[in-house]
Structure 1
C-alpha cells in the first residue's frame, strides 16, 4: 500500500506540472517524461513484442532529486506511450533513490535490476548503495522482491560508488556488471554471477582505468557483437585532451575478447562514442531481429538547461543500431524504423556544383536532412550546412577537407558558452551527412555512422531555412533531400 501511495503522489505531481508546462522546446519525436526531470535511460528491453524503455525520473521537480523509474513502451521504436511510474524510492532497500539499472525477461517475468541509494549525510553527499530487483507479470506494475537487497555491499576494496547494474544471461547463468571505484579513486567495472537473480557471487574486476580514465565508471553495458565483446562505460573525471573529452563526463567503449571461465577481458583503447555536447549513460538492448539498439541521455551534467524554467528537463536520443566496422570501431546509425517519421519529401538538388551559398527556404523545426558531397575533385577548404534563424541565429555543421575534421558550432543557437565540438572524420572522396533536427536537439550521423554528434539547442528565432556553403572553392553536391517529420507526441 505504501508503494501505491507513493506512486499516486508522484503521478499527481506529474499531472499538475504538465498542466503548467511551457512547450516551446518540447521535442517532437524523442522520449521525454510528461513533465519534470529525467536523466539516464534504464531497463531497455524487447519484451512480449514491444520495446520498453525506463528512465531516471524525478516526477516531483524539474531538477534532479529522489530518483524514480519512468516508463514508456513502443511497438516500433518511434511512437512511444507513457506508462505509470514503475519504481518509487522510500523502502528500506532504496531509501533515497531507485538509481539506474537494467531489465531482463526471466521466463516471462519482466525483472528490473536497480541500485538502491541511501544517504548517511546528504549535505556532504555521503551515501551507500546496494542492488535490488522488482518483478512484473504484466510489464506495467512492479513489486519489489522480499529478498532485497540482493547484493547489499560492494567488494572490500571499493569506495562507496557501487551502481548501475547491467544484467544478461549466458548459457544458464545470469551475469551482472556494475560501475565501481576503488578506495584510491580508480574507475572500474566489476562482475557478479547468479543462478536465479537473487543470489550473487562476486567474480572480480572486468576492466579498470589505467589512471587516465577517471575516478568512477558509470552505466556499464557488456555484450557480444560480431564475435567481439564490447564494454560501454561512462567515465567520470577524464581530463580534456584537445578536442577529445570536452564534456564534463564521457561515454565510450572498449573492444576486445572475453573468457567467461577466467573473467579475463583483453581489450583495446577507450574510444568516445559520440562527439557532441549532450550524450551520456548509453544503454543497449538486443531485439527479436538480433539488432543491438542503443539509447543515451540527451543532456549533460552541469550544462545549461533552459527548459527547467518551462517545467521540464531531459530527453533521450533517437534509438540507434550499433554495428562493428572493419577497424573494430563502433558505427552508430538511427534504426530503420525512424523513416516512419517522414511526412513530406523535398528533393532540392542533385549532381550540381556549389560555389556560393545555397539556401533552402523552410520554417519547419522537425526535419531530417540528407546531404551528400562529392569531394573527389573538390578544391574547397571546407563544406557544410547552416540552420539559419530569421536574423542572427545560425547553427553550423562544417567539414574541413584538409584536416579531416567535422565541427558542430551551436554557439549562436542556444549554446553561447562552450558551443563548439569537433570530431575526426576521414571522409576521403565522399561526405555523407544525415541530420535530425527537433525543436531543441540536433543529431548528426556522418558517413554511415563513422562519427555522430548529439547536442541540445535552444533557438529563440523562427527558422529561415537550411543553407549549404563552401569556403575557398567549389564542391559538387550529389544529393540534398529533406523530410518534414511527425510530431509523435501530438
Structure 2
C-alpha cells in the first residue's frame, strides 16, 4: 500500500517539476543583455527568487536551493529552485527540486507551496526539510521531508508531514525548519511567534521522521519582533558557543539579527550574551548558513526585501543572493562577515592608487577607473585627515553628475553610510551604522559592485551594508570625495571582475 501511495505521489510531483522546468527553458535566453542582471551573483534563470534554502556541501559540491516561482517574476506558489557549484563562483542551474503537489503543500488559491527549509546529508541521502504551507487549511503550516539519491531528483516522504503542526494553538507562523546533527542526533529549529514575541522552537529526532518537541530555545526580549522567520542556530567558535540568526517580523528597519551565546543541548535552551543587527543595508533578508568541506561557516542571504520596489520585475525576473560570506566569531562575542576567498578568482585588470590627499569639498575623478562590475578596497587614514572630515567614494556616476551612489564615513560621528538617494530607479534612502576606526586609525571599505548591487564590508567585516541600486547602464564613473576637511587615502585597489 505504501509503495502504491509513494508512486502516485511521485508521479504528480514529477509532472509539476516538468511543467516548471519547461517554462524556465523558454524564458531564460531573453535576459542576456539586461543591464540590471547581475554578472557574478547567483540569481534565478527567470521568474521569482527569495529565501536561500537547503544550503549544503554535498559530495564535494556546493548546493543552493531557493524559494522560486518559475512562471512569473512575482511571488506565487513556492517551488524550490536549485543550483550547484564546485567553487562558490561558477553556478550551474539544475532542474527545479520541489513543486507543490500534495494536500500539505498545495491548494486552490495562491497562498500555498513548498516554503523555506534546509538540507542535510543523511548517510549519503540528500534530505530536504521544508514547510508545507496552505492557506485555509488547519494547521496552515507543517514540516515535510523530501529525499534524493542523485542530488537532483527528489521524492516527498510517504510519512509527510513529519511534524503535523505547532506545539500549541494561537501562535503566529510555524515555518522555516533548519536542521543539523549533534552527537548522533538530529536537531531542528523552527520560526514561531506568540504573544507578540518572536521565538525559535527546538525539536530533536533520531531519523528525520519522528520528531520530539524540546521547547523554546530562545525568544525575543520584547524588542526583537513578533515572529522569527528563517532561524538558524549553529556552533561557531569554541566549545558550546553558538550563534542564532533570525529574520524578525515587524521590527522596523531591522530585518535580520544575530544572537551569540551558549546552547545547552540537555535543556534545549540558548543563553544569549550578545545581540545585534546582522547587516545594515536595506536589501538583506532570510540568510542561511552551512559548513563546507574546509570547515568554514558560510552564509548566503536574499539580496532583496519584502515590500520594496523591484524594478527588475518589469524585465521578467526578480531576486538574487548575496555573495557567499564566511562567518567568524570574534573574542568579544561579535560576528565578522567577509567575502569567501574564492571570489578572488573573479579578479581581472587591476588599478592601484596610494598616498593621496583629497582637498576639502572636492571630488576627484579616477581616470581609467569605471565600470559596473568592480571590486574596490579603499583604505583611508583618519590620523592624517584634517578636521571632522567626511570622506568616501561615489559609485556608478553618470557623466552629468546627476546619478551616483555615495559611500561615506563621518570622522566626527564615526558613522558609515550608503546613500542611494541619487542611485537611479528603485528605492531611495540612506543606510547607516556606527563604525570605529581600526586601532591604527584606518577605515577600510571593501566594496563589491555588480550592475544592480553594492555590498560593503567595512573594517574586515566588522560591519556590512548590502543594497540594491538600479542606475542607468551608462552610469559607470567612480570618484573619491572629501567634505568639511581634507581626507587622506592610504590606498585604493580596484579590480575589474570577470563574469
TM-score, with structure 2 as normaliser: 0.92
2:187 corresponds to which residue?
Answer: 175
Confirm or deny: 8 A CA contact 2:326 2:338 kept in the other structure: yes
Q: Deviations over 1:106-131 (max 9, x none)?
A: 0011100000011118xxxx970000
The answer to whether the aligner puts 1:332 opposite 2:371 as a matched pair is no
The answer to whether the aligner puts 1:385 opposite 2:393 as a matched pair is yes
SS state at 1:376 partner: helix
Structure 1: how far apart are the matches of 2:37 and 2:356?
A: 37
SS state at 1:436 partner: strand
1:162 corresponds to which residue?
Answer: 174
1:413 corresponds to which residue?
Answer: 423
Between 395-404 and 452-461, report the one with greater CA deviation.
452-461
SS state at 2:135 partner: strand
SS state at 2:266 partner: coil
Q: Deviations over 1:340-367 (max 9, x none)?
A: 11111111x1123222432124342111
SS state at 1:16 partner: helix
The answer to whether the aligner puts 1:354 opposite 2:358 as a matched pair is yes
Between 329-338 and 427-436, report the one with greater CA deviation.
427-436
- Structure 2 gaps of 5+ residues are 1-10, 107-111
Q: CA deviation at 1:398?
A: 0.3
Q: CA deviation at 1:211?
A: 1.8
Confirm or deny: 8 A CA contact 1:128 1:160 kept in the other structure: no
Q: CA deviation at 1:70?
A: 0.3
Q: CA deviation at 1:324?
A: 1.2
In the TM superposition, structure 1's runs of 4+ consecutive aligned residues that sit over 3 Å from their partners are 19-22, 415-418
SS state at 2:16 partner: helix
2:277 corresponds to which residue?
Answer: 272
2:372 corresponds to which residue?
Answer: 365
Of 294, 300, 303, the match for 1:298: 303
2:483 corresponds to which residue?
Answer: 471
Equivalent pairs counted in the alignment come to 473
Aligned pairs for 1:432-447 within 5 A: 432-447=444-459
The answer to whether the aligner puts 1:427 opposite 2:440 as a matched pair is no
The answer to whether the aligner puts 1:114 opposite 2:130 as a matched pair is yes
Structure 2: how far apart are the matches of 1:338 and 1:390?
A: 30
Confirm or deny: 8 A CA contact 1:389 1:461 kept in the other structure: no
Structure 2: how far apart are the matches of 1:366 and 1:352?
A: 24
Q: Deviations over 1:383-438 (max 9, x none)?
A: 10101122210110000001000010011113665421111100150011110000
- Identify if the C-alpha distance between structure 1 residues 293 and 334 changes in structure 2 by more than 3 Å, giving closer, same or farther: same
Structure 1: how far apart are the matches of 2:74 and 2:476?
A: 33
Q: CA deviation at 1:460?
A: 1.6
Q: CA deviation at 1:326?
A: 2.9
Between 15-24 and 61-70, report the one with greater CA deviation.
15-24
Q: CA deviation at 1:474?
A: 1.8
TM-score, with structure 1 as normaliser: 0.94
Of 92, 104, 109, the match for 1:81: 92
- Identify if the C-alpha distance between structure 1 residues 127 and 304 changes in structure 2 by more than 3 Å, giving closer, same or farther: farther
Q: Deviations over 1:233-271 (max 9, x none)?
A: 00001145xxxx3xxxx1111111111111121113431
Structure 2: how far apart are the matches of 1:44 and 1:152?
A: 24
Structure 2: how far apart are the matches of 1:416 and 1:292?
A: 33
2:6 corresponds to which residue?
Answer: none
Q: CA deviation at 1:65?
A: 0.4
SS state at 1:159 partner: coil
Structure 2: how far apart are the matches of 1:179 and 1:158?
A: 14
1:189 corresponds to which residue?
Answer: 200
1:402 corresponds to which residue?
Answer: 412
Structure 1: how far apart are the matches of 2:319 and 2:188?
A: 27
Q: Deviations over 1:116-163 (max 9, x none)?
A: 011118xxxx97000011111111111111111000111114425100
Confirm or deny: 8 A CA contact 2:393 2:408 kept in the other structure: yes
The answer to whether the aligner puts 1:452 opposite 2:464 as a matched pair is yes
- Structure 1 gaps of 5+ residues are none
Structure 2: how far apart are the matches of 1:394 and 1:377?
A: 27
Q: Deviations over 1:61-104 (max 9, x none)?
A: 11000000000100110000000000001212312200000000
Q: Deviations over 1:180-207 (max 9, x none)?
A: 112x232101000000000000000011
Of 198, 215, 232, the match for 2:226: 215
Structure 2: how far apart are the matches of 1:452 and 1:415?
A: 23
Q: CA deviation at 1:461?
A: 5.0
Structure 1: how far apart are the matches of 2:487 and 2:173?
A: 52
Between 111-120 and 156-165, report the one with greater CA deviation.
156-165
Confirm or deny: 8 A CA contact 1:299 1:314 kept in the other structure: yes
Confirm or deny: 8 A CA contact 1:159 1:185 kept in the other structure: no
Structure 2: how far apart are the matches of 1:195 and 1:180?
A: 23
Structure 1: how far apart are the matches of 2:308 and 2:113?
A: 23
Between 218-227 and 151-160, report the one with greater CA deviation.
151-160
Q: Deviations over 1:8-60 (max 9, x none)?
A: 11112222332444622110000111001000000010011010000000001
Between 402-411 and 473-482, report the one with greater CA deviation.
473-482
SS state at 1:3 partner: helix
Structure 2: how far apart are the matches of 1:88 and 1:161?
A: 21
